[in-house]
């Protein structure tokens, strides 16, 4: 499995969420298969987007595209940090 973990601060969570939801079909077409949105415990504008992708290359192309750079700007995203991850192991306890 391939994953992307994005940590970023947003100007306003609800405004960011509207843009995020509007891009769902675009994300799916690019190769995103599932996602989770999390927030820092005491900061609703510090967002973590954790998602499963068909490939790291597909995710990288999507997130680094000029279109996505513009969408992030419109959504009020500040300095996102991207981590592209490949699963080594998983389990249930």
Residue 31: CATH number of its domain: 3.30.70.100
- What confidence tens digit (pLDDT) does each residue in 15-74 have? 999 999 999 999 999 999 999 999 999 998 999 999 999 999 999 999 999 999 999 999
Structural domain tally of the chain?
A: 1
Pair 38, 47: CB distance under 8 Å: yes
List 84's β-bridge partners, or say none.
Answer: 4
pLDDT of residue 15: 94
Full residue range of the structural domain in which residue 49 is found: 2-86
Is 93 part of any domain? no
pLDDT at 1 over 90: no
* Alpha-carbon torsion (75, 78, 84, 85), positive or negative: negative
Is 30 part of any domain? yes
Is 62 part of any domain? yes
* Alpha-carbon torsion (72, 21, 54, 11), positive or negative: positive
Is 92 part of any domain? no
């Amino acid at each position: 499995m391939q994953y992307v973990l994005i940590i970023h601060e947003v100007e306003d969570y609800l405004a960011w969420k509207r843009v995020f939801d509007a891009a769902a079909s675009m994300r799916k077409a690019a190769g995103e298969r599932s996602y989770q949105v999390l927030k820092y415990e005491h900061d609703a504008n510090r967002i973590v987007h954790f998602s499963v992708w068909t490939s790291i290359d597909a995710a990288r192309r999507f997130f680094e595209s000029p279109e996505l750079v513009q969408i992030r700007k419109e959504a009020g995203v500040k300095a996102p940090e991207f981590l592209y991850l490949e699963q080594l192991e998983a389990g249930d306890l």
